[in-house]
Structures are given as structure tokens and as C-alpha cells.
Structure 1
Amino acid sequence: MTGLPQALSALSRLLLRLVLVAAALVLVASLIAALALLALGWALRAAWARLTGRPVTPWVNRFDLGQQFGNVMRRAPGAAVHRPAATDITDVEVREVHDTPAANDPHAPRLPQR
């Protein structure tokens, strides 16, 4: 009976390989079809430009990240956020913080020592 499990194992490996090869062929065929459609579109566009006497220009997608960020910020809801004027800001004097009795509790959360 050792021949039957080996035969089934070999058959399942063969079927798995065939399925993977078929999936790879479908992927390659779809990529080729997409590139063919893109080339056809570009050729039609170039032919139309030549028929109408216009120069054939390449497809270019130019963008400026700063401009795109500004566009998004302008369209965002609540974009008109109140910005404090320079007169609304006050100077603060630095002072030392002393430990309180609650700060001596070993279970209380503490900031790391400097």
C-alpha cells in the first residue's frame, strides 16, 4: 500500500505546479494586454496629433508636493483655524518644581530623572 500514497502525493504536487503555472500565465497575459492597450492609446493619440497638425507631446504627470499639500489643506474641513496673534502670546518665567508628598509615593507615575 505504499505505492498509492506516493502516487497521490506526486499527483497533488503535479496539480499544484500546473495551477501555479496557469496563474503565472494569466498574470503575464493580463500585463501584456494592459501594456498593449496603453500602447494603442498612445498610438491613437499620436496619430490624431499628426492628423490635426499638432506636435506629439509625451504624457507627463508633473506635480509639486508643496502645492498638493496646500491644496489639501485648503479643502480640509476646519481649514480656517484660529491662529493666535503675536499679542495673544505671553512670556512664561521658568521655575523649579519641588517634590510634593504625593510624589514620594513609589507607585505614583514619575518622569525619568535628568
Structure 2
Amino acid sequence: MTGFNQALATLSRLLLRLLLLAAALVLVASLLAAIALLALGWALRAAWARLTGRPVTPWVSRFDLGQQFGNVMRRAPGATVHRPAPTDITDVEVREVYDGPAATDPAAPRLPRR
């Protein structure tokens, strides 16, 4: 029985390797086909541009991240951006923070020492 189990294990390893090799070959072939289609498209576009007398321009994908973020925020359902009106702004008086009786309380908020 040991010889039979060993033969099955060897056969299954061989089949797994062949399967992985086939998957890798399919992946490489599909990538090469995609690159060939892009190159063919670019060549046809360049040939058409030369035939019509226009300059051959590169394919450029420009985007502005700030604009894209704004587009997403505008499209989000129920999302509103609140910008305070000038009347919502209140002046605040600056005052000195001192160590009073609350200084001994460990839960009291404190400023770092200078």
C-alpha cells in the first residue's frame, strides 16, 4: 500500500504543477494580448492622425484629487458640507490658565508646562 500512496502523491504533485504552469501561461498570454491590443489601438490612432494631418498626441488621463473628492462628496446621499457663515463666528477672549484648586485633580485637563 505504501508504494500506491507514494505513486498517488507523486501524480497529484505533478498534476498540481502542470495546473499551475497552465494558469501562469494563460495569465501571461492574456497580458500579452492586452498589450498587443493597446499597441494596435495606438498605432491605428497615430496612423489616422498622420493621414488627417493632425499631430500625434499621447493618451493622457488627467485628474485632480481635490475635484474628484468634491464630486464624490456631492454625489453622496445625505452628505452636506456645512460651512459657517460669517455670522456664525464668535470672537473669543484670551485668558491666562492658572493652576488652581483643580491642579491636584488628576482628571482635570491641563496644558503642558513651558
Give the match for residue 5 of structure 1.
5
- Post-superposition CA distance 1:70-91 (Å, at most 9, x none): 4444555567645333333334
Give the match for residue 23 of structure 2.
23
Percent identical pairs in the alignment equals 79
Give the match for residue 44 of structure 1.
44
1:53 aligns with 2:61: no
Give me the TM-score of the superposition, normalised by structure 2: 0.69
Code of the aligned partner of 2:84: P
- Give the alignment's Cα RMSD to 1 decimal: 3.2
Structure 1 segments unaligned to the other structure (5+ residues): 99-110
Distance 1:80 1:113 in 2: 33
Give me the TM-score of the superposition, normalised by structure 1: 0.69
With 21-30 and 72-81 compared, the bigger mean Cα shift is at 72-81
Structure 2 segments unaligned to the other structure (5+ residues): none
Distance 2:87 2:11 in 1: 82
- Post-superposition CA distance 1:37-94 (Å, at most 9, x none): 0001000000100110111111111222233334444555567645333333334788
With 26-35 and 80-89 compared, the bigger mean Cα shift is at 80-89
Code of the aligned partner of 1:34: A
Shift in alpha-carbon separation, 1:8–1:74, aligned structure 2, 3 A = closer
Shift in alpha-carbon separation, 1:6–1:80, aligned structure 2, 3 A = closer
